A and B are shown apart, each in its own frame.
Chain A
Amino acid sequence: GENVEQHPSTLSVQEGDSAVIKCTYSDSASNYFPWYKQELGKRPQLIIDIRSNVGEKKDQRIAVTLNKTAKHFSLHITETQPEDSAVYFCAASGPRGYSTLTFGKGTMLLVSP
């Protein structure tokens, strides 16, 4: 089945720095890769996603890149702000076709002022 590995588990940066979170997946059939942000005590919310036919996608300060050959994808946050502090989860479609997602274990991002 699908297995999603996410690194690092924690990441501390200074305000204004960039942050990068990396994920690898095992099922070459996976074709959809969303990223969710979960603030403390709140529900996970989708922040950006990418399909397997696209190599990169940007939305203001966040971007996601995908390398299908290597089966890894990354989240990039530029000009980090304290409100970016949260747990970030990557996910990949499968292993039950397109009907489910397999999530990574999460990265706690701490942005210090």
Chain B
Amino acid sequence: DGGITQSPKYLFRKEGQNVTLSCEQNLNHDAMYWYRQDPGQGLRLIYYSQIVNDFQKGDIAEGYSVSREKKESFPLTVTSAQKNPTAFYLCASSHRTSGELVKNIQYFGAGTRLSVL
């Protein structure tokens, strides 16, 4: 373990509340990612960032927001606009893939399980 740290491990959200999930990495990776994992759905990309101060929407960005102010940190906010937030959230990081010769090997954190009260 180590390299990518997610906190908290468990999180509960009340109706209308925004909550923020933390992701920190010490692997000196440029790229970071947020995935949502639901049973039988695989890993779906929420947001990703290839470099500090820049991020892109993934496949299911609605109701989520991110920031990338530091290379080591990529927090995810689940807003009240996300009506079905209960899921397991995984953060990952990799070296920046600048072309086809670079493998996008992603390393994952241990995850945060979010539930709605």
Contacts and interface: CB of A to CB of B under 8 A. Distances in A.
A binds B: yes
Contacts of B102: 98
Interface residues of A, number: 25
Interface of A: 6, 9, 31-32, 34, 42-46, 49, 51, 89, 93, 96-106
A105 B97 contact: no
A99 B48 contact: yes
Contacts of A89: 42-43
A100 B110 contact: no
Contacts of A42: 110
B109 A43 contact: yes
B75 interface: no
B35, B50, B106 — most chain A CB neighbours (10 Å): B106
B108 A45 contact: yes
Contacts of B35: 103
29 contacts: A9-B40, A31-B100, A32-B103, A32-B104, A34-B103, A34-B104, A34-B105, A43-B108, A43-B110, A44-B43, A49-B103, A51-B103, A89-B42, A89-B43, A93-B104, A96-B56, A98-B99, A99-B48, A99-B50, A99-B97, A99-B104, A100-B33, A100-B45, A100-B104, A103-B35, A103-B42, A103-B43, A105-B40, A105-B42
Interface of B: 31, 33, 35, 40-45, 48, 50, 56, 58, 90, 96-100, 102-111
Contacts of A105: 40-42
Question: Which 5 pairs show the lowest CB-CB distances between chains A and B?
Answer: A105-B42, A43-B108, A98-B97, A103-B43, A103-B42
